[in-house]
Amino acid sequence: MSRETENVLDMNIKDTDTWKALNNGGWTNRRLKEGYKCDNCKRAIAIKKVTVSEFGTYRVDLEFMAKDNIRDMSLFAGRRNMVSRGINLAKGEKYKKSFYIAVTPYIPALSAKRYDDKTIYVSFTHADIVELCDIKVVKEEVPVIWVAGDSTLTDQNAGIPYYPYGSCAGWAQTLLRYMDKATVCNLAHSGMTTNCFRDDGHFDIAKEMIKKGDFFIIQFGHNDQKRRNLKAFEGYKENLKRYACEVRELGAKPVICSPISRNSDFSLLKPYRDACLEAAKELNIPFIDLHDFTFEKWQEFGENAKDYFIPGDITHTNEYGAMLVADFFVMEIYRKISSNSISSDYSESLTDLFDWKTLEEASYKEYKIENIEKNLPKELPGLDIFSIEPPYVDITDIPDSDGVKKAYNYGLLDPCVMYLHPHAVMPRAQLLMVMFKAFRMAGKRPYENRFADINEYDWDAGYVQALIDEELIDDVTIGENKDTGKLMFRPDDPLKYDEFISFLVRFLEKDIEKRKKLSLAECLKKAEEIKLIGDKEYKQSFGTVKCMSEKERYEVAKGANISRAEVYTVLSHFMDIAGGIESDLPSGLDIHPVH
């Protein structure tokens, strides 16, 4: 990627909370509605900065003094990594704490460019009644636990005043409180698959700085399951093993974790959990089963399980949920060491990393969340991230760039990835999530297994069932297995132009009985009548291979196949015709908490 391409996106995020938090230790100011008054001193946050001259690991020595009695103080460092919590001090009492922090490059959300800030941030609650007496920073090399993953692990921003119940947090964001003579570098990033984490440059940062004695936590799955080329026992498992082998060659020790479960009665991530276990066994490396632990915990907690997620979300944990998962991770490491169930080179190294005294707090039972903590203030909306320029490096100067930008502004596209692959074919099943966003329609479960090539664990199964129930599938597009006679949805086949138009025109026909009778030819005619694909000149460009600024890693769309950029452009036209732009997205779409 050229330097010019990197700089295209510099102006995208300057006014977003993402950018503000990046330059403020992971914190932003909540936009509180008029009349709100916070009378709880622990919600005020103090943020201190120390700038160092080079990347590396540093020991931070702090000394505080309480100007009044303090109960349940929390201490953070870096991008809001939790160092300690539950600190109680009497008036006049001093508190000392030493810990280690990693200063590295970082690629923030909504950007394609590395951020090379060398500032160490230290933040803490009870800002008005805590006096920072001393802060010292000394460069010192210690082992680093690197973290690769998605939004369920990443360093999430939080607002001031501070409400843990309403603050999103990735579980690896709370690991630092367990470290002794070691630190954590969390490179996990919202929206990442096992492909994107490599393609978007996050893994390069680790490879450049990782050293012998470090550890490398790998946890993906939530976004992989939405990609047809990253099936659990195919592309996904292969990528896990590739990461593990590469970091092992660099002298670090990999640990594979299964993805945490959503708060649901049925987990679509079970195959990905099983693939993690298989990959770890094949490489003889530790496997931490976060999936089964969290799935069972959410079932055990019942209605109270929602208290461990940010309000209205079933995927992204708040700070209580993040601590719960991290507690289990550390306890599992301890259990494996104690039972000699991991190799001696792992157990000896891990024993030195953690402060095992803190394990007494890690019971991974329900946290006692007082009702007052659940009373969150009303906030005004911030800048809509879909109102900025799309953060994709591969759409510059493409013929469909305006259509792609419009689709992004309509909230159809993922704001967290760097590459859109505009010229690539669109697998039929991979179309469904973005198309249902345009429909403002949710999928339906349970899946009734009409098609032999879609199973109940597929992310797309709910969308396919909705297509069936709503008579949105033309029978001529359905395949058949010649040996078994079973029907096939053809989820991995490249989407053809007429198939795509058929979905849209059938949806626009509100009479379901009439939908059944609409042929592909009739749908194409109707699309032309209502100018669904724009002007004649644009229509004539369909199926032609567009000029590509760089080599496309996936199959390029040509002939009858429609490209991803063309899909997004037509969907934006469709939304202009169908309406619904101002309506909310349906539930269950697993939106990334980026703002």
User: What are the mean pLDDT values of the chain's consecutive 10-residue runs (595 residues total)?
Assistant: 37 76 94 74 93 98 95 96 96 97 94 91 95 93 98 97 96 96 97 96 97 98 95 98 98 98 94 98 98 97 95 95 96 92 88 80 71 89 83 90 94 92 96 96 95 95 97 97 96 96 96 95 94 65 53 80 96 89 56 53
Query: What DSSP assignment string belongs to 72-102?
Result: EEEEEETTTEEEEEEEEE-TT-EEEEEEEEE
The CA-atom distances, in angstroms, between 569 and each of 166, 416, 438 are: 36, 19, 11
Both tokens assigned to 462? 């709910």
Residue 447 phi, psi (nearest 5): -80, 130
Q: How much of the chain, in percent, has pLDDT values that exceed 70?
A: 90
Q: What pLDDT is recorded for position 551?
A: 58
Read off the pTM: 0.91
Burial group, residue 272, by CB count within 10 angstroms (0-12, 13-18, 19+): buried
List 122's β-bridge partners, or say none.
48, 77
pLDDT in tens, 460-496: 999 999 999 999 999 999 999 999 999 999 999 999 9
Domains of the chain are 3-374 (3.40.50.1110), 385-578 (no CATH)
User: In whole angstroms, what is the distance from residue 459 CA to residue 249 CA?
Assistant: 34
Q: What pLDDT is recorded for position 1?
A: 33
User: In whole angstroms, what is the distance from residue 162 CA to residue 167 CA?
Assistant: 8
pLDDT in tens, 86-102: 999 999 999 999 999 99
Q: What pLDDT is recorded for position 541?
A: 58
Q: CB 405: neighbour CB atoms within 10 A?
A: 18
The CA-atom distances, in angstroms, between 299 and each of 238, 408, 595 are: 31, 36, 30
* Residue 2 CA, distance from chain mean position: 26
Identify whether the C-beta of residue 320 lies closer than 8 Å to the C-beta of residue 369: yes
- Going by C-alpha positions, the residue among 480, 412, 423, 420 that lies closest to residue 450 is 480
What SS3 state is found at 181?
A: coil
pLDDT in tens, 98-131: 999 999 999 998 888 899 999 999 999 999 999 8
Mean pLDDT taken over the chain: 90
pLDDT in tens, 358-368: 776 655 567 88
DSSP 317: B
Long-range contacts of 445-448 (CB under 8 A, 24+ apart): 445/266
DSSP 39: -
Q: What pLDDT is recorded for position 539?
A: 54
Residue 273 phi, psi (nearest 5): -60, -45
Q: What pLDDT is recorded for position 389?
A: 87
- Sign (positive/negative) of CA torsion 375, 378, 161, 77? positive
- Going by C-alpha positions, the residue among 367, 318, 356, 345 that lies closest to residue 157 is 318
User: In whole angstroms, what is the distance from residue 544 CA to residue 276 CA?
Assistant: 40
pLDDT in tens, 223-235: 999 999 999 999 9
